[in-house]
Amino acid sequence: MTWSRDGIQIPDESGESIQVPVESDFQLTCQATNSVGSVSSFCTVNVVDDPHVAEADLLLRTVSTSPQFVMRLRDRKVQLGHPVRLTCQVAGVGLIQVRWEKDEADITKTAHSFQDKNFYTLELSNLKLEDAGAYTARARNEFGEVSCTCSVSVSMDMAVIPRWVKALRDYVKVPQGGMVVLEGQFQAWPAVSVKWFKDSTRLRCYNRRFRYELDTHGHISLVIQDSVPSDTGIYSVLVENELGSVESICCVEVIGEEDDIDKKMSTSS
């Protein structure tokens, strides 16, 4: 066993305890070695002139109090699709449990979190726009609870090639007069153009029966009201920006009254 002060080995000291003269702050390291390997531990010694300060520090370390944040969570701005880690450091006595929340809802069981000594980390991967919000760490022991909160914002400053979060359904079947709803969601940056097609022909005109929707979160939809058999066909939507494009296809079948009658007759026969 060897002892070092500020990285310099102290000669003639190899026992389990040590006495050193104290004039100023220093770091004391103890290293234990055998034929298999070695392990070390260190502490920082802070020298104070006022004995009352030393007494207060000792009292703070031994008194039964709620946990305290040594390092609090900090606000983060993260690019869309990138990961982020939220870390805090907690000090206290007894068993400390840390619970994680997003927008005041407990996410401890659903999110990925881990502990390294007295550092507690929440890990978020592949951030989506809906992951933005207020994240809170709540530290609790038998004497009380404390919390700290940070804000996570998801930025789209970096260009993103269009990709589907939710593509169109493969097949939609409705009776004549019913409503056809085709919907999906994409992620892309910068701004995109969205084009709808039926049987490879672009749908350009709004009318009483057709309605197109697109919001800031990438949700798109095509709604056909009062459908007729001629609305049957292959529908597709193309989302593109300067980086690339994605397409999704859906087969729509509108069952007319004659088709329904023929089906019933064939079933009965």
Closest CA to 135 of 109, 106, 155, 110: 106
Closest CA to 186 of 159, 217, 157, 212: 217
Determine the Cα–Cα distance for residues 207 and 85; give it in Å rounded to an integer.
Answer: 49
Tokens of 78: 């993260």
> How is the chain split among helix, strand and coil, in percent rounded to 5?
10, 50, 35
- Predicted confidence at residue 80, as pLDDT, reads 79
**What is the pTM for the complete model shown?**
0.42
Determine the Cα–Cα distance for residues 61 and 253; give it in Å rounded to an integer.
Answer: 73
Determine the Cα–Cα distance for residues 191 and 225; give it in Å rounded to an integer.
Answer: 29
Beta-carbon contacts of 260 under 8 Å, excluding residues fewer than 6 positions away, are: 175
Q: What is the DSSP letter of 103?
A: T
Q: Are 87 and 135 in contact (CB under 8 A)?
A: no
- Predicted confidence at residue 60, as pLDDT, reads 59
- Predicted confidence at residue 259, as pLDDT, reads 59
Q: Are 50 and 126 in contact (CB under 8 A)?
A: no
- Predicted confidence at residue 261, as pLDDT, reads 47
Instruction: Show pLDDT as tens, one digit a residue, over the chain (269 residues).
Output: 888 888 888 876 667 777 777 777 888 888 888 888 888 887 778 777 777 767 766 665 666 688 899 899 999 988 877 899 999 999 888 889 999 999 999 998 888 999 988 899 999 998 888 899 999 999 999 889 999 999 999 886 666 789 999 999 999 999 999 999 999 999 887 667 899 999 999 997 667 789 999 988 889 999 999 999 999 999 999 999 877 899 999 999 999 876 554 555 455 55
Amino acid identity, position 54 = A
Q: Are 20 and 28 in contact (CB under 8 A)?
A: yes
Determine the Cα–Cα distance for residues 49 and 24; give it in Å rounded to an integer.
Answer: 10
- Predicted confidence at residue 59, as pLDDT, reads 65
Enumerate domains of the chain plus CATH numbers. 2-47 (no CATH), 68-155 (2.60.40.10), 160-259 (2.60.40.10)
